[in-house]
């Protein structure tokens, strides 16, 4: 395992890339409504990212199971946990949820963040899933400090979500991030406190709880990208990129633009 500690200059470049991701998700928030296709959202995102001098990292991202990813964002609707491919056939409907995962490459460094959006009014039980998943992200971030371990992050996410009766996906995880979108170490959403890689100041990681309303088990779709819940129940996904510090992690990405947007 090769873990790269970032300098302050590198963290500043990563902050810029991640702020652009937050701006892109904020722009998409204006368009998420019934009748919009996920392919329309993808085109908006790609244009916005390129207009700001960056490259959408996900486009043509390699897949160990098949062909490269064909789009600029992942749009995962309802029972799709992660890696949903935007399509003109996927039309958002009232009551849906859609997780939009976005990555940018700006001045040699990567940004990565995800937010699960409600389409119109969603059922109360779905809203609770979104709320709990988002809360678990910040529970994990609270543990992402120098001197703790990767297992402290996963344990915090797992405990919060399982206590609420939700499933914690095991097959996909968070990750280190920097010049590459995916670097060491893996950052699972489950674990034991005090176990795993020691966190050091200067590490940058993406923490991303992927939580299911029902059974935690998942399967890979025929497109070799989308990962779905086996029981067909909804899943939520929230992600921030953070820099490990002494005392408190610095969140490099942002949900501010998303949550200040009136849909």
The C-alpha atoms of residue 170 and residue 149 are separated, in whole angstroms, by 18
- Report whether pLDDT(261) > 90: no
The pLDDT tens digits of the residues spanning 136-177 come to 999 999 999 999 999 999 999 999 999 999 999 999 999 999
pLDDT value of position 263: 44
Question: What mean pLDDT do residues 23-44 have?
Answer: 98
Higher pLDDT, residue 91 or 65: 91
Closest Cα to residue 111, out of 32, 12, 178? 178
Residue 131 φ then ψ, to 5°? -65, -45
Evaluate whether 132 touches 164 at the Cβ level (below 8 Å).
Answer: yes
pLDDT value of position 157: 98
How is the beta sheet containing 204-207 ordered, strand by strand? 183-187, 174-176, 204-207, 240-243, 250-251
- Report whether pLDDT(64) > 90: no
- Report whether pLDDT(65) > 90: no
- Report whether pLDDT(196) > 60: yes
- Report whether pLDDT(100) > 80: yes
Question: What mean pLDDT do residues 70-74 have?
Answer: 98
Q: Whole-prediction pTM value?
A: 0.97
- Report whether pLDDT(62) > 80: yes
pLDDT value of position 41: 98
Beta bridge partners of 103: 112
């Amino acid at each position: 395992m090769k873990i790269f500690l970032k300098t302050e200059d590198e963290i500043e470049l990563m902050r810029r890339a991640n702020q652009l991701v937050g701006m892109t998700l904020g722009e998409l928030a204006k368009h998420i409504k019934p009748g919009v296709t996920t392919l329309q959202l993808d085109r908006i995102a790609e244009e916005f990212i390129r207009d700001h001098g960056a490259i959408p990292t996900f486009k043509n991202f390699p897949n160990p199971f098949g062909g490269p990813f064909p789009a600029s964002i992942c749009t995962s609707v309802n029972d799709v946990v992660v890696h949903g491919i935007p399509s003109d056939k996927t039309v958002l409907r009232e009551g849906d949820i859609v997780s939009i995962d976005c990555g940018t490459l700006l001045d040699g460094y990567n940004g990565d963040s995800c937010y699960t959006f409600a389409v119109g009014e969603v059922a109360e039980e779905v809203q609770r899933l979104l709320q709990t998943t988002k809360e678990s992200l910040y529970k994990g971030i609270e543990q992402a400090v120098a001197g703790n371990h990767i297992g402290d992050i996963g344990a915090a996410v797992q405990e919060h979500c399982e206590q609420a009766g939700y499933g914690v996906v095991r097959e996909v995880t968070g990750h280190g991030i920097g010049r590459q979108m995916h670097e060491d170490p893996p950052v699972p959403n489950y674990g034991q406190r005090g176990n795993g890689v020691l966190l050091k100041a200067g590490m940058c990681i993406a923490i991303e709880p992927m939580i299911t309303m029902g059974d935690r088990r998942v399967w890979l779709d025929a497109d070799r990208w989308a990962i779905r819940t086996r029981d067909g129940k909804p899943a939520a996904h929230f992600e921030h990129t953070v820099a490990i510090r002494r005392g408190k992690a610095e969140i490099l990405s942002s949900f501010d633009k998303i949550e200040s947007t009136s849909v």
